[in-house]
Chain A
């Protein structure tokens, strides 16, 4: 079974630009969650989508948004990038709640 895939793996953007990251979950998984990982803040939950609906949202500004498609693939978008948005963005999928989540390799975003 193929794992969680994320594209692109690396991105370099300039302040003020916007970026879209993509995540393809494990086949059959309905839940996709996004996390931001930084050395200072560690792993922070961004949001979760389940069957195309946002089920939960973390404490991030409205510049961070996401969506999920009918095939469970998900995208997250960050508008008006700031230097502090530089991070590893991880996507995770699971079949449902209380169950283990499987993580992708992440997208390394660098904002200059």
Chain B
């Protein structure tokens, strides 16, 4: 079946540090890939997406590139801020397109200290 593996957390960084959160996936076919972010006490917000190989999704300084050859979708940001502290989830869509189900990784908690 489809699955998403995220690196173990939590991650603690100082403000302005470089961020990389690893995400790899297993899927039969060609899913769309997403990064969602969850702030304390809230639902999930879409951070960025990529729908085909070599696509780069970007938003709010975050970037991720859909790498089919390594089945990866790593999240990066050049300079994190305290306000980026949240839980980050990597997810993939059903590759068949038959439904809207998302498969999520376990999530990773990012804490950014001033």
Contacts and interface: CB of A to CB of B under 8 A. Distances in A.
**Chain B binding surface, main DSSP class:** loop
Interface residues of A, number: 26
Interface in B4-63: 32, 34, 36, 42-46, 49, 51
A96 B49 CA distance: 15
Contacts, number: 66
A42 B104 contact: yes
A100 B103 contact: no
Given A56-B98, A105-B43, A43 B89 contact: yes
A23 B20 CA distance: 34
Most buried by A among B94, B103, B106, B107: B94
A31 interface: yes
B102 interface: yes
A96 B101 CA distance: 11
Interface residues of B, number: 24
A25 to B, nearest CB: 11
A45 B43 contact: no
Interface in A39-84: 42-43, 45, 48, 50, 55-56, 58
A56 B101 contact: yes
Most buried by A among B44, B100, B103: B100
A33 B107 contact: no
Given A100-B34, A100-B49, A94 B44 contact: no
Contact of B100 (A48, A58, A104): A48
B102 A101 contact: yes
Most buried by A among B45, B51, B101, B102: B101
Interface of A: 4, 31, 33, 35, 42-43, 45, 48, 50, 55-56, 58, 90, 92, 94, 96-106
18 contacts: A4-B43, A33-B100, A35-B102, A42-B107, A45-B101, A45-B103, A55-B98, A55-B99, A56-B98, A56-B101, A90-B43, A96-B100, A97-B93, A98-B97, A99-B32, A103-B43, A104-B43, A105-B43
